[in-house]
Amino acid sequence: MTSLSGQTEVIPGGQFSVVTYNVAGLPSWINDLDTDRFDPMGEKLNAFDIVLVQEDFWYHDLLTANMDFPYMSPPKINTWGEWLWLYLVNDGLNRFSRFPMSEVKRHPWDSCHDYNVSGGNGSDCFARKGFSFASHTLTAENGEEVRLDIYNLHMESSHTDEGNLIRAAQVEILAEEMQKLSGDNAVILVGDFNFSKGRMPGLYQKLIEATELTDAFTALRKTDKWTVDRIFFRSSKQLKLTPVKAQTLRFNENGMTLSDHSPKMVQFNWRLEE
């Protein structure tokens, strides 16, 4: 931009990458995945700026052992009351950031489908699923700072009629809480939504309309409509977010896939608005 004096003005801003990744952190006697995978998983995630994970239930220390992020969320600790309600694991939602962030707030869903581990419906009630929220601070080269609110979620996995109703209710809860917590702030929402644009287009559209978010992959004309792992965003009057790259990452080690999900990465340009 050129000013009236003829000098070029530098618009404060920068660039950062965001990754969402379901790390499949259930106990190994449940998912039959080798625990050796967490060490290379953590090292690979060091390549990015903001990482949000789901199912970080059981092996958090292994996952973070070789991470170099200056800001990491402490895992949720279940209360005695939650243990009595048979929540065997916490919400599994953690984040690792190169930018300062506020204390992470955790909001559990108020319902789940069932405890059935053999019916193929997710047995969601054993985990304290929900969403987490924190404000991250971006700093431009000139020292100006701006707030970016980032949400991380894990939704109901059952695709029974009841599970579909629960998932729809979770979208409503998320939209209501997002309005309370963020107002008109810039927002990034990531997570394991457990529904795809291809399978449940109506709920996908409801999410977008209720939160005024844009799918970063769609914005870049990526047509991965069957994935359940997504990254959404919206700008604000103070902060302009522009996705410039969206990619499904392949995390493998010695021929072994590190999780039953593939990480999703979006690179954003950002700038302060007038």
The reported pLDDT for the residue numbered 1 is 46
**pLDDT band for position 111 (50/70/90)?**
confident
Mean pLDDT (the chain, rounded): 89
Q: Amino acid identity of 31?
A: N
pLDDT of residue 144: 92
C-alpha angle with apex 15: 13 to 16, nearest 5 degrees?
135
> What's the Cα-to-Cα distance from 170 to each of 102, 133, 164, 245, 260, rounded to whole Å?
24, 15, 10, 29, 24
Helices (H), strands (E): how many in the chain? 7, 14
Amino acid identity at 157:
S
pLDDT at 33: 77
Residue 143's pLDDT band, with cuts at 50, 70 and 90, is very high
Answer whether residue 127 shows pLDDT above 90: no
What mean pLDDT is predicted for residues 166-189? 98
In this predicted structure, the answer to whether residue 128 has a pLDDT above a threshold of 90 is no
Give residue-wise pLDDT tens across range 6-23.
555 667 999 999 999 999
Amino acid identity of residue 192, one-letter, is D
Q: How confident is the model at residue 101 (pLDDT cuts 50, 70, 90)?
A: very high
Q: Is the Cα dihedral 99, 101, 104, 107 positive or negative? A: negative
Q: Is the pLDDT assigned to residue 224 strictly greater than 90?
A: no
Q: For the segment 88-97, what is each residue's pLDDT rounded down to a tens digit?
A: 677 999 999 9
Looking at per-residue pLDDT, the higher value among 269 and 84 belongs to 269
- Positive/negative CA dihedral, 252, 151, 107, 145: positive
- Answer yes or no: is pLDDT of 194 > 90: yes
pLDDT band at 83 (very low <50, low <70, confident <90, very high): very low
Domains of the chain: 13-272 (3.60.10.10)
- On whether the CB atoms of residues 218 and 191 are closer than 8 A, the answer is no
3-state DSSP assignment of residue 197: coil
Show the tokens assigned to 189: 């929402």
- Checking if the pLDDT of 130 tops 80, the result is yes
Give 110's contacts (C-beta < 8 A, 6+ positions apart): 173
Res 119 pLDDT > 60: no
Q: What is the pLDDT of residues 200-213, one digit of tens each?
A: 999 999 999 999 99
pLDDT in tens, 43-61: 999 999 999 999 999 999 9
Task: Enter the DSSP assignment of 35.
Answer: G
The answer to whether residue 99 scores a pLDDT higher than 80 is yes
Q: Is the dihedral of CA 91, 258, 40, 117 positive or negative?
A: positive
- State residue 114's pLDDT score: 58
